Amino acid sequence: MREGNKICIVRVLAFEEYFLNQGQTMATPRVFISSTCYDLKYVRENLKYFVRTIGYEPVLSDEGDVFYSPSAHTHDSCLKEVETCQIFILIIGGRQGGNYKAEVSSITNNEYREAVQNNIPIFALVETSVHSDHHVFVTNKKKNPTIAESIAYPSIDDIRIFGFIDEVRKNTKNNAIFPFRDFSDMESYLKKQWAGMMYDFIIQRANNEKSKITNKLLDDLTLATKKSEELIKILLKSSDINGNVEKAIQEVSNRVQAENFANLVLSKFSIDRLRNTSLKDLEGIPLQGTWIDFLEATNDFRVEEMVLQDDEIDLVLWCNSSHGIQIGSTTNGEFSPVDYHNLEESFSSLKSVDEDARRNIFLKLVNGL
Q: For residue 268, what are the contacts with CB-CB under 8 A and spacing of at least 6?
A: 325, 343
pLDDT of residue 237: 65
**Is the pTM value of this prediction over 0.85?**
no
Task: Decide: residue 283, CB within 10 A, 0-12 exposed, 13-18 middle, 19+ buried.
Answer: exposed
Answer yes or no: is pLDDT of 241 > 60.
no
Q: Report the SS3 class of residue 57.
A: strand
pLDDT of residue 227: 65
CB atoms within 10 A of CB 207: 11
Higher pLDDT: 237 or 305? It is: 305
C-alpha 113 chain-centroid distance: 12
pLDDT of residue 18: 47
Asked if residue 13 lies in contact with residue 5, where contact means CB atoms within 8 angstroms, the answer is no
Least-confidence region, from 93-107, 133-147, 236-250: 236-250
The architecture that CATH gives domain 30-181 is 3-Layer(aba) Sandwich (3.40)
- State percent of the chain over pLDDT 90: 38
Least-confidence region, from 98-107, 127-136, 217-226, 359-368: 217-226
Higher pLDDT: 15 or 345? It is: 345
Torsion of CA 208, 211, 213, 219, to 10 degrees: -140
Answer yes or no: is pLDDT of 343 > 70.
yes
Answer yes or no: is pLDDT of 72 > 70.
yes
Distance (Å, whole) CA 198 – CA 183? 22
26-50 pLDDT per residue, tens = 788 999 999 887 778 888 999 999 9
Rounded to a whole number of angstroms, the CA Rg of the chain reads 29
Q: Which of 36, 26, 33, 35 is nearest to 58 (CA)?
A: 33
Q: Report the SS3 class of residue 295.
A: helix
171-212 pLDDT per residue, tens = 888 889 999 999 999 999 999 999 999 998 888 888 777 777
pLDDT of residue 263: 87
Higher pLDDT: 312 or 139? It is: 139
Domain coordinates in residue numbering, the chain: 30-181, 255-367
pLDDT of residue 115: 94
**What is the DSSP-derived secondary structure letter of residue 353?**
S
pLDDT of residue 10: 45
pLDDT of residue 226: 63
Higher pLDDT: 11 or 207? It is: 207
